[in-house]
Amino acid sequence: MGGFKHLVVVKFKEDVAVEEILKGMEKLVSEVDAVKCFEWGQDIESEEMLRQGFTHVFLMTFEKKEDYTAFTTHPTHVEFSATFVAAIDKFVVLDFPSVVAKSPA
Predicted pLDDT of residue 1 = 54
Q: Give the residue among 103, 102, 98, 104 at the shortest CA–CA distance from 2.
A: 98
pLDDT digit string (tens) for the chain, length 105 residues = 579 999 999 999 999 999 999 999 999 999 999 999 999 999 998 787 788 899 999 999 999 999 999 999 999 999 999 999 999 999 999 999 999 888 887
- List C-alpha distances in Å: 101 to 1, 2, 72: 10, 10, 27
9's enclosing H/E stretch is: strand 4-12
d(CA 24, CA 27): 5
Predicted pLDDT of residue 103 = 82
Predicted pLDDT of residue 105 = 75
The domain 4-97 having CATH identifier 3.40.50.1000: the answer here is no
So where are the chain's domains? Answer: 4-97
Predicted pLDDT of residue 102 = 86
